[in-house]
Amino acid sequence: MASVEFRDVDKIYPGDIRAASDINLTVEDRELLVLVGPSGCGKSTVLRMVAGLEEATSGCIFFDGINVTDLPPKDRDIAMVFQNYALYPHMNVYDNMAFGLKLRKHPKEEIGELVLDTARILGIEQLLERKPKALSGGQRQRVALGRAIVRKPSVFLFDEPLSNLDAKMRVQMRTEIRRLNLDIQTTMIYVTHDQVEAMTLGDRLAVMDEGTIQQVGTPIELYNRPVNRFVGEFIGSPAMNFFEGKLSGTGETPVFKASFTSFPVPERFRSSPGSLVGRTLTLGVRPEDLYISVPDGNEGGFHHTEVVIDVSETLGNEMIFHVDAGGHRMVVREDPDVNGSYGDRVRLSIDLDRIHFFDGGTGASLLAG
Ligand SMILES: Nc1ncnc2c1ncn2[C@@H]1O[C@H](COP(=O)(O)OP(=O)(O)O)[C@@H](O)[C@H]1O
Ligand SMILES: [Mg+2]
């Protein structure tokens, strides 16, 4: 068991490539923390510094309060599972899982017990005699997990371990990894570029962009209160809709004016520091906070505008409408029984209690304080 703490960690690769900047983060004991962000944002670099495979350029890393920054990988009591899990092809599953324990000179009987216990947790007891080539992708990935778990490390590191699996297997394996975390109660740091995987797996997520951590929080905190436009856009699918606009009106009741509509800025944004008026803002609205179904008379909390339906997608459990508001495209997520087809002119209702405003320049949320 261990907590993992980063203090002011930077990583600059030769050639002045700044892969990680000012990383300050504590992963709690037994927590499953997901590092998520687009390709190239520095996730693997951060994970490899925990493993000791990359040296931090500055700053320190602590396991349970002990500075491990200069410890070699073998002394860190971690196990890592990669996308390419390269099992030994000539060894059967049992030997693949036992290999690391043999290297560490564990007693033979103990190895047998550990491998069997681990195989049971992962549901691969019946595969122990098989060679890797006789396994499916999902089974192989399970063996790779087994090989890591069997050593009972203090910290597990996963770097996009499911990327090579097909969509269905990915969904199944991510549930299994979550279950594993609950079963074996070990600290895990999990890297992925897939925000759905991140949301479903993580106790908390650290969202990265261009080498820096943008926000750390539970899935629901990130979803409901993104601190900036990047996080708002990255988390959630279909993605948040964005519209540029300006604030005008008197200081008491500033009005947000986008090209296709305008409405008074809701109360909760008005205490934001700095004068709002004259500022360029970006309105952010999630697809489920837009409606084409709000009945007349139910006006409270909604702002209405006219749009034309373009493409509609019937998914069975929901409808997705792509609509056009004077040249602005937006995505609306609706209940499955809501009708609308190409060319229909409809009233679009925006739930003002759920909108976001971001600074037009910095992208910071007006509510981030
Ligand atoms: N060994 C290396 N030498 C130089 N640059 C590297 C090295 N490894 C990664 N980088 C660069 O650092 C940045 C972050 O890479 P990485 O941590 O692999 O991102 P991610 O895992 O989020 O895709 C990228 O710009 C990448 O090209
Ligand atoms: Mg990577």
Contact between 162 and 175 (Cβ < 8 Å):
no
Read off the pLDDT of residues 281-295 as tens digits, 9 standing for 90 and up.
999 999 999 999 887
Question: Same domain for 355 and 282?
Answer: yes
State whether the beta carbon of 362 lies less than 6 angstroms from ligand 1.
no
Question: Same domain for 192 and 131?
Answer: yes
Looking at residue 305, which CATH number applies to its domain?
A: 2.40.50.140
Question: Same domain for 247 and 352?
Answer: yes
Question: Same domain for 185 and 289?
Answer: no
Which of 234, 253, 270 is the last residue in one of the domains?
Answer: 234
Relative to the CA of 48, which ligand 1 atom is closest?
A: 17
DSSP string, 82-143: -SS----TTS-HHHHHHHHHHHTT--HHHHHHHHHHHHHHHT-GGGTT--GGGS-HHHHHHH
Question: Same domain for 249 and 129?
Answer: no
Any domain includes 367: no
Question: Same domain for 40 and 112?
Answer: yes
Q: Which residues are in the CB-under-5-Å shell of ion ligand 2?
A: 44
If you take atom 3 of ligand 1, which residue's CA is the nearest one? 13
Q: What's the Cα-to-Cα distance from 124 to each of 43, 117, 305, rounded to whole Å? A: 30, 10, 57
Question: Same domain for 318 and 272?
Answer: yes
Per-residue pLDDT of the chain (369 residues; tens, 9 = 90+): 799 999 999 999 999 999 999 999 999 999 999 999 999 999 999 999 999 999 999 999 999 999 999 999 989 999 988 877 789 999 999 999 999 899 888 898 899 999 999 998 888 999 999 999 999 888 898 899 889 889 889 999 999 998 888 888 888 888 888 988 888 889 999 999 999 999 999 999 999 999 999 999 999 999 999 999 999 999 999 999 999 999 887 667 889 999 989 999 998 888 766 667 778 999 999 999 999 988 777 667 899 999 999 999 999 999 999 999 989 999 999 999 999 999 999 999 999 999 999 999 999 999 875
Q: Output the CA 6–ligand 1 centroid distance in Å.
A: 18
If you take atom 26 of ligand 1, which residue's CA is the nearest one? 40
Beta pairing class for 255-257 and 241-248 = antiparallel
What's the pLDDT score for residue 68?
96
Closest listed ligand to the CA of 208: 1
State whether the beta carbon of 45 lies less than 6 angstroms from ligand 1.
yes
Which percentage of the chain shows pLDDT scores above 70?
A: 97
Number of compact structural domains in the chain: 2
Any domain includes 366: no
Any domain includes 101: yes
Any domain includes 61: yes
Question: Same domain for 147 and 199?
Answer: yes
Does residue 89 have a cis bond before it (omega within 30 degrees)? no
Any domain includes 365: no
Read off the pLDDT of residues 207-218 as tens digits, 9 standing for 90 and up.
999 999 999 999
Question: Same domain for 247 and 343?
Answer: yes
Which of 234, 259, 274 is the last residue in one of the domains?
Answer: 234
Which of 168, 201, 234 is the last residue in one of the domains?
Answer: 234
Q: Output the CA 103–ligand 2 centroid distance in Å.
A: 28
Distance CA 246, CA 254 (A): 10
Structural domain harbouring 139: 4-234
Any domain includes 184: yes
Amino acid at 334: E
Closest listed ligand to the CA of 38: 1
State whether the beta carbon of 55 lies less than 6 angstroms from ligand 1.
no
Question: Same domain for 259 and 185?
Answer: no
Question: Same domain for 100 and 170?
Answer: yes
Amino acid at 71: L
Contact between 141 and 161 (Cβ < 8 Å):
yes
Any domain includes 177: yes
Question: Same domain for 52 and 130?
Answer: yes
